[in-house]
Structure 1
Amino acid sequence: MKLFLQEEKYAGVKLLDGSPYYLTLENIEKLNTERVINLLNRMEEHGQDRIQYINVVMDATFLEGADILEHMGYQLKSRFSEFERDLLTGSLNSNDASNMTYYSAKELGEKLFLNMWESCMKGSLKMLPLCTR
C-alpha cells in the first residue's frame, strides 16, 4: 500500500497503518474524484481480512470528498474541533512539567501503550474515526 501511495499522482496523501485494527487516510482534498475512488478501493483490497476498518480524515470543507465517501458506504462518525498549543514558543508552567514523565511507545511496549491509550481516550469525541467503513 505504501508503494502505491508513492506514485506522483498521490503526492501529499498520508497513510497511517494501524494494522491489524485500521488504516487511516489523510490529505485527499487535492485528489480528483477518480483518484479518491481508486485509492479507497485499493485500500479496501489491501485491508480485506487484515484490518477491522478504514477511516478517512479530511477537511470539513471538502464536500465532494464527503459525497464520494457516503456513496461508497462510509459513515460520518464525528465532528470535532481540534486545538493545539505550540510548545516551542509557549512556556509550560513549571508545575506542569514536573508532573510528567515521557516514554516512547517502544519503551512502553504495545500492550501497555494500548491500555494507556484506551484509558485516555474513554469519553473522548475523537475515540471514533471521522469516517469508517
Structure 2
Amino acid sequence: MNNTLGVKILDGTPNYFVIEDIGQLSSIRDFDKLLQEMMEYVIEKGIQSVSIVLNEKEAANTDYLDLLGTFDFWQQETQYFYKRELTSFNEYRGGESIEIKSFEQITADLFIEAWQKTRKGTLNASSTLSVEKEFIGMKSELGLDYAKSCLTAFIDNKLIGITMPHIERGTVDEGRLFYFGLLPEYRGKGWGSTLHKLSLHLLKKMGAAYYIGATGYKNIPMQRIFQANGCQIFEKKFTFRLNRHFV
C-alpha cells in the first residue's frame, strides 16, 4: 500500500492488517481512496482479519461511517488509550518475586500455550484469529527482533502470564506492549499491576521515553492497572472490523 498521508499501519500479513491511524485525510474522497487501496491489498494477500481505527472526531463523521458500511465494516470495539512518560520512571523495585523468562529460555509451544490461557475470560473484544495465527502475524509486524518481546512471567516456577514489550515500529522511543495478560487464576490478586509496572521498566530499558497502552471500554480491571501505574487516559478510539474473510 502507498502511504503518503501519514497513515499508521500494523501489518501482520497474512493473518491481520490494521489501519491504526488514518493520518492526514482532507476529504471523504481521500478516505474512499484509502479504503479502496486497503481492500485491494488485503484481497491480494488473502488477509483474514482487517480493521480500521478512528478517533472520536473521525467516528462522528457520518460520511466516514456510511463509507465504512459500504465496504462492509462494522463497529467492533471502543478502546481507551493511556499514556505514561518513562523518562522519570524510577528504577523498578518490588517485583523480585516475579521471574521473567525470555523466549530463548522456553519453547515456542509453551509461549503459545501461555498466550492462549491468558486470553480466557478476557474482557476485551475477542479476536477472530487463533493464537497461532496471532503469533505469526506478530512476527511479521515486529520483524526479526520479535523474540526479544516474547516474555513469560513466573512466580515460584509457576507460570502466571506473559508480556510483550517493544518499541513501536516507525518510532525511536514509543513503548508498547503487543500483548499483556495473566492466567485467569492469578487475576484479582495484584499481580497484574506488578507485572505491568515491571513491563514499563523493561520498556524503559529498551529505550522507550513514553508508553502507550490501550484496552476495551469494558475492561475495567485493565483500566485500573493503567491508573495504578500512573498512566493517564488521553484518547478514545473506535475499531471497525471488515465483515469478510479472504482465503
Q: Same fold (TM over 0.5)?
A: yes
In structure 2, the CA distance between the partners of 1:52 and 1:107, relative to structure 1 (3 Å rule), is farther
Note if contact 2:9-2:19 (Cα within 8 Å) is conserved in structure 1: yes
1:120 equivalent in structure 2: 118
Q: Please list every run of 5 or more consecutive structure 2 residues that lacks an aligned counterpart in the other structure.
A: 128-237, 243-247
Residue in structure 1 matched with residue 223 of structure 2 by the alignment:
none
- What's the CA shift for 1:41? 1.3
Tell me which structure has the larger Cα radius of gyration. 2
- Distance in 2, Cα, partners of 1:18 & 1:109: 22
SS at match of 1:68: helix
Question: CA offset at residue 17 of structure 1?
Answer: 0.8
> Is the contact between residue 80 and residue 126 of structure 1 (CA under 8 Å) also seen in structure 2?
no
Compare the two structures and name the one with the higher strand fraction. 2
TM-score, normalising length from structure 1?
A: 0.71
TM-score by length of 2: 0.42
Percent identity (aligned): 22
Map residues 1-133 of structure 1 onto 2, 5 A cutoff.
1=1, 4-5=2-3, 7=4, 10=5, 12-28=6-22, 30-31=24-25, 32-48=27-43, 50-62=46-58, 63-64=60-61, 65-91=64-90, 93-96=92-95, 99-101=98-100, 103=102, 114-122=112-120, 123-128=122-127, 130-133=239-242
- Matching residue's letter, 1:130: T
Shift of 1:60: 2.1
1:92 positional shift = 6.0
| Count of aligned pairs | 126
CA distances 1:77-120 after superposition (whole Å, capped 9, x unpaired)? 0113233433332336512366252647x997876655544443
Are residues 100 and 88 of structure 1, via their aligned partners in 2, closer, same or farther at CA, if it must alter by over 3 Å? farther
**1:67 to partner: Cα distance:** 3.9
SS at match of 2:10: strand
